Amino acid sequence: MPTISTGDKVLVTGANGFIAVWVVRKFLEKGYAVRGSVRSADKGKFLKEMFKSYGDKFELVVVEDITKEGAFDEAVKGVDAIAHTASPFYLDAASVDELIGPAVNGTTCILKSAAKNGQGVKRIVITSSCASVVEVGNDKVFTEKDWNELAIKEVKEQGDEASGLAKYFASKTLAEKAAWEFYEKNKSDVKWDLAVLNPPFVFGPIIHDVKGVDSLNTSARQWHDTVLVDGKPKDFLTTQGESWIDVRDVAEAHVLALEKEAAGGERIIISEGSFVWQDWIDAANSLSPSPIPSHTPLPVGYPGAGRTAKPPVVYDTAKEKRILDLKYHTKEETTRDILADFEKRGW
């Protein structure tokens, strides 16, 4: 399959989100044109301002309901590739449908629109998640062959009573499955192919429009509350965690997944490595001078206790190294940039 090259136009869905704004920025910096989709013109205002120096290389389209048949029929016209990031990510959903509906139907809608009207589309990259790979409680090294059947089972058996985590995990797993199923059924009729990225927890500085800590996206909020709010129990800090990746490396991965021929037809785990939450507290305290002097002293938790902790989840990233070969930010770099951003915001 042909891949994209500088000057091509990429549709980025959910362009106002934590990850997506970095994705848009990365494409623009590399010389691509971007059409960003948002749910309302209001939600796109800050993007217009942020990327105004790119002139007509950045445009916005409003797609009010991504689950409506034909939602993206107009948005896909004239683009060379699509990065589909829009999907709800919160862990306290009351119902299964509020997550699975937009995750699954949003994904199939964009693929259908691309099949119908995306004559110029060469590749679609979908922002899936390690949520669709990992099964909580299983100690193995997870690879791209693994699927989170456990979350689907929990949601099937317990419905709205399933845990918030299972609802979100199931939404991502079912959405990714739906994407591959659609592609397999239609690949002989479409000119594009599919690549899927599976990041674990994504952390990093914020450039999207956030009014305050309370409206931070899920992963950034968890990081903030762990590193800056004192009093987390030792057991939580030294046994709980996951794997992680810097948001700027996720953005780079989206570009590479569209540029690298070998990414076509692949789901790819992108992860810097594992963490327990104490590691981030240690990283914050290791920085001198502190990037956030307004928070002196920072919470210290249980210094060094993370170093001997068992990694909560381990992913095999051999495929990423072979195909994308990302240069990951370190925990210290990511921590420094997040804290410097918090300081500027007065958080």
Residues at the site binding ligand NDP, with contacts judged by CB under 6 A: 14, 16-20, 39, 43, 66, 85-89, 102, 106, 127, 129, 172, 199, 201-202, 217, 219
The closest of 179, 159, 174, 153 to 83, measured between CA atoms, is 179
CA-angle at 100, arms to 99 and 105, nearest 5°: 115
Say which residues have a Cβ less than 8 Å from residue 249's Cβ, sequence separation at least 6: 270, 272, 326, 327, 328, 329
Name the minimum Å distance from CB 219 to ligand NDP.
Answer: 3
135 vs 302, which CB is nearer to ligand NDP?
135
32 vs 203, which CB is nearer to ligand NDP?
203
Transcribe 131-181 into DSSP letters: GGT--TT--SEE-TT---HHHHHHHHHHGGGS-HHHHHHHHHHHHHHHHHH
131 vs 283, which CB is nearer to ligand NDP?
131
Name the minimum Å distance from CB 296 to ligand NDP.
Answer: 28
Name the minimum Å distance from CB 87 to ligand NDP.
Answer: 3
Name the minimum Å distance from CB 303 to ligand NDP.
Answer: 26
Q: Which two tokens stand for residue 171?
A: 């939404």
Name the minimum Å distance from CB 19 to ligand NDP.
Answer: 4
The closest of 176, 219, 220 to 194, measured between CA atoms, is 176
Q: How many residues does the chain have?
A: 347
Give the torsion through C-alpha atoms of 339, 89, 73, 81, to 10 deg.
50
Q: Which two tokens stand for residue 253?
A: 């991965």
CA-angle at 149, arms to 148 and 154, nearest 5°: 110
130 vs 284, which CB is nearer to ligand NDP?
130
Name the minimum Å distance from CB 332 to ligand NDP.
Answer: 19
Residue nearest to ligand NDP (CB): 17
39 vs 191, which CB is nearer to ligand NDP?
39
89 vs 280, which CB is nearer to ligand NDP?
89
